[in-house]
């Protein structure tokens, strides 16, 4: 609880009838932006909503797999500003601009990581772990964006930068391990 003071324990959540800092499902369902920003309510998962959001990238990548590379890039390019708007509008509904229940940023970013790295299972797991570690630790400049941009763009941008970091790490690791093979 000390590491994540914004998180309620499962017991506290059940006593208040809500999860993720007092947000109730009906609050989310009354706002189209909150529905999108919480990945249709999955962001209300009481433990590790960011990890849940990252895992939800797998169905997204699978859904887009029938598209060619250019079409997938266009989908991600169109989704980014739409998710910026959804995250920005969902913040007041959820009680804070970067509420833990807003997980569309993790889903989008993790999908971009998986689109940009090897699709072999071991590399997919490594990509997932790299993204989650970078997203949680928030090294510079991600930490600066996270602290200074309290709006929908900041919500999406810090995860886009974490995705870029994960991609660079995985591609470099893959290249190093491929030398001499």
The answer to whether the CB of 50 falls within 8 A of the CB of 103 is yes
Q: Which of 73, 75, 88 is nearest to 156 (CA)?
A: 88
pLDDT for 20 equals 54
pLDDT for 24 equals 79
pLDDT for 7 equals 38
Tens place of pLDDT per residue across the chain (181 aa): 333 333 333 334 333 334 456 787 888 889 999 999 999 999 999 999 999 999 999 999 999 999 999 999 999 999 999 999 999 999 999 999 999 999 999 999 999 999 999 989 999 999 999 999 999 999 999 999 999 999 999 999 999 999 999 999 999 999 999 987 7
Distance CA 106, CA 156 (A): 8
Spatial CB neighbours of 110, under 8 Å, sequence gap ≥ 6: 53, 54, 55, 56, 57, 128, 131, 163
pLDDT for 13 equals 39
Q: Which of 153, 164, 156, 103 is nearest to 131 (CA)?
A: 164
Please name the residue that has the structure tokens 């569309």: 104
Tell me the whole-structure pTM to 2 decimals.
0.86
pLDDT for 180 equals 72
């Amino acid at each position: 609880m000390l590491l994540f003071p914004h998180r309620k324990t499962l017991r506290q959540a059940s006593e208040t009838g809500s999860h993720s800092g007092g947000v109730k499902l009906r609050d989310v369902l009354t706002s189209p932006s909150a529905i999108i920003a919480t990945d249709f309510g999955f962001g209300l998962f009481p433990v590790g909503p960011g990890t849940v959001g990252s895992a939800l990238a797998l169905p997204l990548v699978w859904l887009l797999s029938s598209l060619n590379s250019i079409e997938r890039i266009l989908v991600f390019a169109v989704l980014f500003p739409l998710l910026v708007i959804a995250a920005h509008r969902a913040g007041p509904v959820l009680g804070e601009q970067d509420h833990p229940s807003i997980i569309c940023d993790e889903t989008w970013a993790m999908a971009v990581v998986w689109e940009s790295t090897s699709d072999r299972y071991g590399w997919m797991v490594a990509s997932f772990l790299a993204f989650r570690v970078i997203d949680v630790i928030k090294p510079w400049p991600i930490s600066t964006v996270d602290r200074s941009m309290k709006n929908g763009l900041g919500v999406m941008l810090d995860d886009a930068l974490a995705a870029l970091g994960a991609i660079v790490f995985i591609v470099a690791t893959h290249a190093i391990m491929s030398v001499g093979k």
